[in-house]
Amino acid sequence: MAGHNDKPKAVVLLSGGLDSTTCLALAADQGYECYALTVLYGQRHRAELQAAQRVAAALGVQEHLQMSVNLDAVGGSALTADLEVPKDRDETAMGQGVPITYVPARNTVFLSLALAWAETLEAEHVFIGVNALDYSGYPDCRPEFIMAFENLAALATKMGTEQGRRLKVHAPLIKLSKAQIIQKGVQLGVDYGLTLSCYDPGPDGEPCWSCDSCLLRNKGFAEAGLDDPLLSV
Rounded least distance, CB 134 to a second copy, Å: 18
Q: Is 153 in the site for a second copy (CB under 8 A)?
A: yes
Rounded least distance, CB 212 to a second copy, Å: 16
Instruction: Single out the segment in contact with a second copy by CB under 8 A; choices: 48-56, 151-159, 177-185, 187-195.
Output: 151-159
Rounded least distance, CB 27 to a second copy, Å: 19
Q: Is 94 in the site for a second copy (CB under 8 A)?
A: no
Rounded least distance, CB 147 to a second copy, Å: 9
CA atoms within a 13 Å half-sphere pointing along the CA-CB vector of 60: 8
* Residues whose CB is less than 8 angstroms from the CB of residue 106 and which lie 6 or more positions away in sequence, other chains included: 41, 71, 140
Q: Identify the sign of the CA torsion 65, 132, 92, 138.
A: positive
Q: Is 86 in the site for a second copy (CB under 8 A)?
A: no
As a whole number of angstroms, the distance between CA 206 and CA 197 comes to: 10
As a whole number of angstroms, the distance between CA 184 and CA 190 comes to: 9
Rounded least distance, CB 126 to a second copy, Å: 11
Q: Is 221 in the site for a second copy (CB under 8 A)?
A: no
Rounded to 5 degrees, φ, ψ at 211 are: -75, 170
Q: Is 120 in the site for a second copy (CB under 8 A)?
A: yes
Helix runs in 74-123, H state only: 91-94, 106-121
Q: Is 151 in the site for a second copy (CB under 8 A)?
A: yes
Q: Is 157 in the site for a second copy (CB under 8 A)?
A: yes
Provide the Cα torsion 105, 205, 127, 158; round to 10°: 60
Out of 119, 124, 200, 228, name the contact with a second copy by CB under 8 A. Answer: 119
Rounded to 5 degrees, φ, ψ at 168 are: -105, 125
Total residues contacting a second copy by CB under 8 A comes to 44
**Cβ 149 vs Cβ 169: under 8 Å:** yes
* Residues whose CB is less than 8 angstroms from the CB of residue 69 and which lie 6 or more positions away in sequence, other chains included: 39, 40, 41, 109, 113
* Nearest to a second copy of 40, 188 (CB atom): 40
* Nearest to a second copy of 94, 156 (CB atom): 156
Interaction mask 42-71, a second copy, x per CB under 8 A: -----------------------xxxxxxx
Q: Is 104 in the site for a second copy (CB under 8 A)?
A: yes
**Cβ 195 vs Cβ 153: under 8 Å:** no
Residues that bind a second copy (CB under 8 A): 65-71, 73-76, 98, 102-109, 112-113, 115-117, 119-120, 139-140, 142, 144-145, 148-149, 151-158, 160-161
